[in-house]
Structure formats: C-alpha cells, structure tokens
Amino acid sequence: MKLYALGGYNEVGKNMCAIEVGKDVVIIDMGVHMDKIVGMDEEERNMPTKDLIKMGALPNDVLLKGKNVVAIVLTHGHLDHIAAIPRLAEKYNCPIIGTPYTLEILKNILADEKKPQLVKNLYLLSAGEKATVAHNLDVEFIHMTHSIPDAVMIALHTKDGIVVHTGDYKLDNNPTIGNAPDYKRLKKLGKLGVKLLLSECVRVQDSARTEPEYVAKVMVEDALDRAYADHSAVAITTFASHIARIRSIIKANRGRREIIMIGRSLESYTAAAQRIKLIDLEGIKIYGRRKSIGYALKNIKTKPENYLIISTGNQGEPNAVLSRIARKEFEFTFDKEDQVIFSSEVIPNPVNVANRYVLERDLKEQGVRLMEGVHTSGHARREDHRDLIRMLTPKNIIPHHGETERLASYAALAMEEGYILGDTVKILYNGAIIDIN
C-alpha cells in the first residue's frame, strides 16, 4: 500500500491524496487552495491548468500519471476539497463518488466551469453505504458532522488493511441538521483494525473540544434579538455552505424582518440544498448577480430597519458583497450604529486574515458595530482528535490539511498517545510518496 500526498500537506486547503493498493488507485478529494483563488479575476481563473498548478492553486497530480485510478472519492462539498475536479478529473475517466449534497454542489461547479460531460461520472453514495470500486477494494461512507451537510469519513477496505480518511469533521452530539456522528461504526472499525488514519488538523492547536452547533444556534438567536432592539440596519454573514447555520438564522428571525440573501455563492449553495430538501426558503428572496444585488440593496436603503441581510463575505474576500458594501460600491451603505454580525471564524491563512482586517477597518470607519464570534467551529479541536484516535486505535497516523506547524502539533498529540514520530506517525509534504507497512 502506498500513499501519495498531493495537496494539503504544505497548507490549509488544496486537499488531495491517493491510496494505491496493487495496481489500483483511489483518489480522496480534489480541492483548490482558496487563498490563491480569492481575489482572482475571471481572466486569471481561466488560466491553463498547468499554470494554476505551478502557482499552487491546484494540487499537482503528476505523480499519478499512467496510474490506474479506479475512483475519486469526496468527503464533503467545500471548495478546498472538490473545486479542482473540473480541471483535474476528466483524464481519469472514473466514478466520482459523493453524498447527495456534495454531488449537488459539484453539479453547480461543473455547470459554471462548462464541464457538463463529467456529470455522467458522478456516483451517489450515502453515509452508511459501501461501493466496490475494484477487486478487494471497497469504499465506505461513515456519517460525520462538519459545517456543511452530508460530510462523511471514508473507510477504504483493501486487501492490505483499512484506511480511514477523516475529511473535515467535528464530533458534534447536538447538530441542528442530521444525526450525531456514527460512533458505533467508528468503534467497530477500531476493533476490526485500522492500518492508517489520515486526519485533518486545522484546529488541532486549540485545546479542549469543539462546541456543538446547537451552541451557535443559541448565540445567533441572542445576537439577533439584541440587534433588533436598536432598530438599525442588521446584516449577518456566514459561510454560504453552512446550511445548518443559515437555517438557524432564518428561525431566529421569527418573521420579524424580511430576509434578503445576497451573494452568488449563497445562491448556489442554497439552491443545491433546496433541491434535496435540506432547507425551506419559501418567501425568502435570494440575489446572486451583481445587477440584481444592486437592485435589492436599493430597495433595502428606503427602510433598512425592516430587513435582515444575509450576505457572503465573512472572510473579507475583496469580491464578496459585504466587502463591496463596505467600499460603498452600491447605493446602500451602512450608517453609524448599524450592526454586522459575523457568524463565522477566519480560515487560518495569511490572505484571509489580511482581507478580514481590511473589511473590519472599512466598517469601523463608518461607525458600524461589529459582533464577532457568533459561531462554533466545524473542525475538531485537540481533545476531539484524541477521542478519535482512541476510538480507531490505528496502527499508523498521518495528519493533513495544514502547514508544517499544524502537522507537527498533531504529531505531538499522537506521540502523547504512544505513537512514534517517523515510525507510526509521520509528517509529509506535497509530492511525497510513502509505503504504509
């Protein structure tokens, strides 16, 4: 058995790896590096694939040239896990396996990127199900919680042993959409014997455990109740893919204000969620294109205290709606004492931190009151990772989805659990190939 570390071993994002057993290869995830993509104009995004790889925006999959790739398997629908598929997947001509919501998002991406021919390769697999992709090679989806619906951990059942890939996860016993994680199956896999655990490590440096999404639901309710008491304009921003959070915002409004959702990614992600009945948006207006957003904001300007704006732009992305409002590119502008609620955290990379700083500076200069941290993370913290290690008791561990500092922090945790650095826990880099014994 070999592991190909293709992306996410030098950075947060650009997730892609491959497992080779005999002559067969399974690719897990195929994402972009968001801080390379954010801020690109349309012409830059249309650069040749080889140029995007060279600049680090896409994983470099040259190591798989000539390999017999039997499946591309997706953990969930975030762009840093699936958005490289239009660029990289076609040459493999194999099934692209994902859960219902993941595939709905991917269909939108393929349409936007003008790659409808790949839709025929999409293969639906729900949590709790298995699919045989080659002789003695099965893919199993295990239900997991994250900040997007339909996230799964992947168990590859091979003749050389079981590989578990966490995707992005949190151990949430009180989710507001769906069920708690499938602990029963994880513990069963631990008893069967896990040869390799591939674990994300985005928040491993944060101590304790991650709070459940129910906590964020209560925080959103309190934030809106207090904001509405001031009869000012109120905008709230969160991740467009965080359908559970968007549902909580809608419920917390309790019909008190007309909800206007603005932003292209919000339009795309909620449309996918509506198609598979994850969310009911009856009576809510959604505007995704610049011209229609301008029209909506012009109407809001007349009586802003009657509306709740749900907007994209929580990371401070320069092209997102919230940043454009802050730069006064629309007729609607914030007045002093208006309120902006950030129901999100900053994804930990330098570009996002810088963009968010600029956004907050622009808003504060206009006298806007900022309410930050109305949020719980979608990523496991240090003690959650410890819990998972103890459930699975894997023979080997390799962390991913982080730069060297995060990978090393996870390795230190594994060492606390008895693993040996360089032997049973390893720190890799993009482009590494390693035998798993």
The pTM (predicted TM-score) of the whole model is 0.94
The pLDDT, as a whole number, for residue 45 is 82
| d(C-alpha 211, C-alpha 6), whole Å | 31
CA nearest 428: which of 2, 1, 8?
A: 8
The amino acid at residue 83 is A
The tokens for 88 are: 């990289």
Cβ contact 329:320 at 8 Å: no
Q: Which domains does the chain have, with CATH numbers?
A: 2-209+378-435 (3.60.15.10), 213-371 (3.40.50.10710)
* pLDDT tens digits, one per residue of 72-98: 999 999 999 999 999 999 999 999 999
Name the residue with tokens 């680090």: 56
| d(C-alpha 205, C-alpha 211), whole Å | 15
Q: CA–CA distance from 3 to each of 26, 56, 158, 286, 345 (Å)?
A: 10, 20, 13, 43, 32
The pLDDT, as a whole number, for residue 345 is 87
Cβ contact 20:4 at 8 Å: yes
The pLDDT, as a whole number, for residue 430 is 97
Query: How deeply is 76 buried, as exposed, middle or buried, from its count of CB atoms within 10 A (0-12, 13-18, 19+)?
Result: buried
* pLDDT tens digits, one per residue of 176-194: 999 999 999 999 999 999 9
pLDDT band for 281, please (50, 70, 90 cuts): very high
Cβ contact 67:20 at 8 Å: yes
Own/partner pairs, 152-160, CB within 8 angstroms, 24+ separation: 152/75, 152/76, 152/99, 152/127, 153/75, 153/186, 154/28, 154/73, 154/75, 155/189, 156/19, 156/26, 157/130, 158/1, 158/19, 158/21, 159/21, 159/22, 160/1, 160/21, 160/195, 160/436
Going through 99-181 in order, the beta strands assigned E by DSSP cover 122-124, 130-134, 137-143, 152-158, 161-165
* pLDDT tens digits, one per residue of 123-155: 999 999 999 999 989 999 999 999 999 999 999
